[in-house]
A and B are shown apart, each in its own frame.
Chain A
């Protein structure tokens, strides 16, 4: 045993020193290397997990939003079609109304015009009748007058002769 100790140079003081040295190294490395680095690694892991879950949430939200978006677009399309349909129907109705009104009006105007025309013609005819009557009387008078004149002359002449 003695020989082993001397051959290997075992020295209790050296042994203790080595243990203490190792202890100091362990302490200092723990304090200055392991603890900050492991803490950082933990932090990073947490951050990565946080980031991953955030990304997951974000993509879920995105999917949700795009679904909502599609829904909204579809709804808007439906609404737009409805509005257009309504507008078309309304305009159709309006067109019909306007047409009918216009027809009525035109008929009214037409009938009014017709009436007026009839009135006019009647009046014209009446007037003409009147005028024609007057002319006829005048003419007759004239003719009669002339005839009467001749006859009178003749009469007068005859009378004169006879006398």
Chain B
């Protein structure tokens, strides 16, 4: 009986110019391609009286934009940051959905010397089960938030949020705490997404190993839900932190 193979790191398929081409990288290309095709189809010739697909995207966009306007309390800022939030959501959600397409994780090839040492490498692997992807997303979110904070408040005012001598010892320590939590966001962002999706993947893998028929279905449904929720959480948290970053600490009190 073969054992369940679980690898935290994405498997390397081949190497090109010193860059390891991992299966998650391949899958992320697929995700990007799918989104681009969808985007081109919908955005190429949008009609005033929308079709079903256009309506679907429009309703998502108007909901997200409304939420952003409500949160940021600024229409211009909301429109400025909308592409980022929307892309984060679309990218994560599509990646998490793609995980359930048959073939992802099962199409691949064997390598090694045969026998005991033969290893199976799937060609595709859910994008967010690669820590590189989630940390990349976290970094994008992190830098966007910091840059937005500096751009809106100015460097001096923004840095005073973290290095604060005016409000006494207590204020200083609160500033340091803010700084730590700012950095910790990087970790929480990346590990939350990675952990949730990876755990779901492993759970389904184990289920498939022991009870291959029917039993994984409710789990997969649940994982679709988790995939959606994680996409929402990632984008909404980015939005909230953005709001915190661009809000003047003194005005807020």
Contacts and interface: CB of A to CB of B under 8 A. Distances in A.
Interface of A: 6-11, 13-15, 17-19, 21-26, 28-30, 32-38, 40-41, 43-44, 47
Nearest to A43: B48
A10 B186 CA distance: 15
Given A10-B131, A43-B48, A44-B48, A19 B139 contact: yes
Interface of B: 8-10, 18-20, 22, 25, 28-29, 32, 35-36, 38-40, 42-44, 46-48, 54, 57-58, 61-62, 65, 79, 82-84, 86-87, 90-91, 130-133, 135-137, 139-140
A24 to B, nearest CB: 7
A144 B88 CA distance: 168
Nearest to A40: B46
Nearest to B127: A18
13 contacts: A9-B8, A9-B22, A9-B131, A10-B135, A14-B19, A15-B135, A18-B28, A18-B136, A24-B32, A25-B35, A32-B36, A33-B40, A43-B48
A44 B86 CA distance: 21
B86 A15 contact: no
Contacts of A28: 36, 39
Contacts of B62: 41
Main secondary structure of the interface of A (DSSP, over half): helix
Given A25-B87, A38-B79, A32 B136 contact: no
Contacts of B132: 9-11, 14-15, 18
B43 A41 contact: no
B22 A34 contact: no
A34 B19 contact: no
Nearest to A42: B79
B127 to A, nearest CB: 9
Given A25-B87, A32-B44, A41-B62, 19 more contacts: A9-B10, A9-B130, A14-B22, A18-B137, A25-B35, A25-B91, A26-B84, A29-B36, A29-B87, A32-B36, A32-B39, A33-B43, A34-B83, A36-B44, A36-B46, A37-B42, A37-B58, A43-B48, A47-B48
